[in-house]
Amino acid sequence: MSQEIVSKVSSYLTPHVPLNLIAQGAEAVVFTTNVHPYLPAKDSSNKSYIIKYRPAKRYRHPLIDRSLTKHRTLSESRLLAKLFLIPGLKVPQLIACDVYNGYLWIEFLGEDLPNNGGFSNLKNFLWMFASSDPYDPIVKETLIKVGQQIGLLHWNDYCHGDLTSSNIVLVREGFQSWQPYLIDFGLGSSSNMVEDKGVDLYVLERAIVSTHSLFAETYKEWLMDGFSQVYRGNGSNGEKKLKEVISRFQEVRMRGRKRSMIG
C-alpha cells in the first residue's frame, strides 16, 4: 500500500520532486522533499518541506470521498493559516495546498531557527530522559512551555482534536532549550466550548500516562502549570475561564475512568 501511495504522489508531483516517506496514518501520509512548490529548484534545494497527502479511501463512495477530502484539507489549511498569526503560538507555516487532490505543503520545522540542533516529538523526548533523569530541569522547563502552547491555543478558542505527545514537536534551540510546536491539525477546530478543551487535555493526559506512567503525575503538574500561566495572565476573566476548563477536564477524566472500569 505504501509503494502505491508513493507512486501516486510522485506521478502527481512530476518525477523531478524527490520524496521521502516519513509517516503513514489512517488519515494521511507524510513526506519530506527539498523542492518548494513555487520557487525554482536552485532556490530551495538546501531546505526541506513537508508534504501531507490524504489518499482516497476505497471503502467510501468516490463522490463522498472527494467531498470529505476537499473539506478536511481546506479546513486544516485555513486553521493553520489562522493559528500561525496568533502571537506566541508555534505551529508550522502553511506554504501551499491543493484541496481537490488532498495535498498540503508545510514548513519543515527547525531548519531556519538559530542554533538548531535537531528536533523530536514530545513522546520521544520524554523517553530520552526517562533512562537518565526524568525530572531533569530541562524536562520541567520544556513541559511548562508545552502547557503554555496549549494554553495559548485554548485561550484563543481553538482546539487540536488529537493532542497526543506525538503531535507536539520540540525543536532544539541552543544547548539546553527546546521550543515546542503543535502539529497535525487534521481534527482541529475553532471552538469556545470547555468540553472540547477538556477533551484535548484528557487526550494528552492519557498519552502521557500510557507511555510514561512512572512520572506522569509530575509531568501533568508541569503541563498544567504552563497552561494555567496563560489563563492567569489574562486577569480575572482568565481565572474564571481557567476554573471552567479545569472543572470540565476533571469531568471528562471521570467519564473516561468509568468507561475503563466498565470495559
Cβ–Cβ under 8 Å, residues 65 and 179 = no
Q: Domain boundaries in the chain?
A: 2-107, 116-262
- Summarised one tens digit per residue, pLDDT across range 17-57 is 888 888 888 789 999 998 888 877 666 567 889 999 999 88
Q: For residue 189, which of 103, 106, 83, 107 has the smallest C-alpha distance?
A: 83
**pLDDT of residue 260 exceeding 60:** no
Tell me the sheet residues that pair with 178. Answer: 172
Residues acting as catalytic residues:
162
CATH architecture of the domain covering 2-107: 2-Layer Sandwich (3.30)
- Summarised one tens digit per residue, pLDDT across range 147-195 is 999 999 999 999 999 999 999 999 988 777 899 999 999 999 999 999 9
The cell for 57 is 479511501
The cell for 92 is 508550522
The whole-angstrom separation of Cα 169 and Cα 142 is 11
Model confidence, pTM: 0.90
Cβ–Cβ under 8 Å, residues 242 and 228 = yes
Domain 116-262 annotated CATH 1.10.510.10? yes
